[in-house]
Homo-oligomer: A and B are copies of this chain.
């Protein structure tokens, strides 16, 4: 009724800004016709992604779980596993598999070729928004990681972090190779996915329990910070190994050295740059006077991370660490929040959406291997972190169980591993889904377990006090 026939061609006046499809694929004419439909597709995808992230996140919060978990599950629901609203060509989907594309096709009477081109362009745009999301997420994590806090808990946190990386990595990789006869590279990748601890989830749960400033809390947060840095180095190392297809010891050394030099070097250089940054931000008086210089720095570091053959998110994280040391930190953090709020969910939801959980359907016989692997990974993930509590020395009375349990949630970084491993083809579908399930379950289990562990702590410290009184 509103859209009468003669004006079907009228709608596309937003053409110019999108009309840059690869010329080999489309004629200029198709281009001009399809471009606003790509924009429409991106807008609809974002609406679906935001709805999934918000509904999932809020439901998670209501049942007392970290919101990021709900965003991931929301992504699984709207993605390839269930509703097919947000699907991607790289996981084998075609335009016909996408419900959003079906809507666009109904509105616009597209030819199959045009639909495929629009589907690809729209998916690429959403993926680049997701990448910017993960870059901003790591920038924000860097911005929230306090190096000074770390120095207080010193060696304890470092040892907990190192043990918490080494044990799950070694046990996971060895177990996959020896028990499940997995190829070396995917086994290493899956083992590496077991290493990282989520700063965000851990510190949020600790503050909810009122234990953020306790000795245990400080060690956990300190270790989670170091763990995050180690996790990113491990990710860079492992992903590069996956790329070359073999374990080249020089590559490993080069990557560990360059990642460390890059991270520490940028922090040291940052001591000087800090003042320049604050001076610049103070001089600027137009809108975005703080956030734009910060993003110039973050994106340039991300570019540099890529250019020296490491990775974009490592650069963004280093940029965050550097700017965390300025007295603009709080103001900047405040401004980065809304930007992260609208871009980071795109990352989490698309990670969930790209996972096809049907490979873990236990009814299908060939899936049973994946399920067994999944169980194995979860056990290693939990035990590998819990043991870290017993690596603490010279701290009598510390709640070792609570520290270990506090390191369990994998959260964001674990999902980064799954996302990268999945689409690079390193991880086959069962292994990829097994990692996502491991991340979901460790994140699920950590809050109630941590509550239990700290309850024990109260009992223990009470009996300790009694022992002191007796002694």
On A, residues with C-beta under 8 Å from B are 2-4, 6-25, 32, 36, 38-40, 42-44, 46-47, 50-51, 53-54, 57-58, 60-61, 67, 88-90, 107, 116-117, 120-121, 123-125, 127-128, 130-132, 134-135, 235-236, 239-240, 242-244, 248, 250-251, 254-255, 258, 283-288, 291-293, 295-296, 299-300, 302-303, 306-313, 335-342, 345, 350, 419-425
Q: Known contacts A20-B90, A124-B124, A288-B345; is A14 also within 8 Å of B420 by CB? A: yes
Whether the Cβ atoms of B286 and A67 lie closer than 8 Å is: yes
Known A25-B25, A242-B13: A342·B131 in contact at CB below 8 Å? no
Decide: B339 and A309 in contact? CB cutoff 8 A.
Answer: no
Q: Given contacts A121-B22, A285-B58, is CB(A420)–CB(B89) below 8 Å?
A: no
Contacts of A243 in B (CB 8 A): 9-10, 12-13, 15
CA distance A421 to B123 in the complex (A): 27
Q: Which residues of B contact A240 (CB under 8 A)?
A: 7, 10-11, 13
How distant is the Cα of A128 from the Cα of B121 in the complex, in angstroms?
A: 10
For A250, what are the chain B residues with a Cβ–Cβ distance below 8 Å?
6
Instruction: Let me know if B306 and A36 touch, CB within 8 A.
Output: yes
Q: Which residues of B contact A134 (CB under 8 A)?
A: 17
Residue of B nearest to A117 (CB): B22
A16 touches B303 (CB 8 A): no
A240 to chain B, nearest CB (A): 4
Q: Which residues of B contact A13 (CB under 8 A)?
A: 235-236, 239-240, 242-243, 311, 420, 424
Q: A10-B309, A50-B296, A254-B7 are in contact. Are A16 and B420 (CB under 8 A)?
A: yes
10 extra A-B contacts, CB within 8 A, seeds A8-B309, A10-B243, A16-B419: A3-B309, A6-B248, A7-B240, A10-B251, A11-B309, A13-B235, A17-B420, A20-B123, A20-B124, A50-B295
20 contacts between A and B (CB under 8 A): A6-B248, A6-B250, A6-B251, A8-B309, A10-B309, A13-B242, A14-B131, A16-B422, A21-B124, A32-B425, A39-B312, A42-B132, A43-B300, A58-B283, A121-B124, A288-B341, A291-B341, A292-B342, A335-B341, A338-B338
A141 to chain B, nearest CB (A): 14
Q: Evaluate contact between A303 and B47: CB separation under 8 angstroms.
A: yes
**Is B131 a contact of A128 with CB atoms below 8 Å?**
no
CB pair B286–A14 under 8 Å, yes or no, is no
List, in ascending order, chain B residues with CB within 8 A of A312's CB: 14, 36, 39-40, 43
Given A16-B422, A22-B25, A244-B10, are A302 and B43 also a contact pair (CB < 8 Å)? Answer: yes
A54 touches B20 (CB 8 A): no
- Chain B nearest Cβ from A198, distance in angstroms: 15
B131-A311 in contact (CB<8A): no
Compute how far the CA of A7 lies from the CA of B259 in the bound complex, rounded to whole angstroms: 14
4 smallest CB-CB distances across A and B, nearest first, come from A16-B423, A13-B239, A288-B341, A11-B309
**A39-B306, A300-B47 given; A342·B20 CB < 8 A:** no
Contact between B131 and A18 (Cβ–Cβ < 8 Å)?
Answer: yes
Give the distance in Å from the alpha carbon of A60 to the alpha carbon of B425 in the complex.
Answer: 50
Contacts of A23 in B (CB 8 A): 89, 120
Determine whether the beta carbon of A128 is less than 8 Å from that of B342: no
Of A39, A121, A302, chain B has the most CB atoms within 10 Å of the CB of A39
Question: Is A47 within 8 A of B14, CB to CB?
Answer: no
- With most chain B CB atoms within 10 A of its CB, the pick from A8, A124, A312 is A124
Query: Which chain B residues lie closer than 8 Å to A244 at the CB level?
Result: 7, 9-10
Expressed in whole angstroms, the minimum distance between the Cβ of A297 and any Cβ of chain B is 9
* A11/B121 in contact, CB under 8 A: no
CB distance from A131 to the nearest CB of B (A): 5
Contact A424 B120 (CB under 8 A): no
B125 touches A22 (CB 8 A): no
Residue on B with the closest CB to A423?
A: B16
| A9 to B: closest C-beta gap in Å | 6
Chain B nearest CB from A220 CB (Å) reads 22
Bound complex: CA of A420 vs CA of B421, how far in Å?
41
Contact check, B130 vs A292: say whether CB atoms are below 8 A apart: no
CA of A421 to CA of B16, assembled, Å: 8
Verify A287–B337 contact, CB threshold 8 A: yes
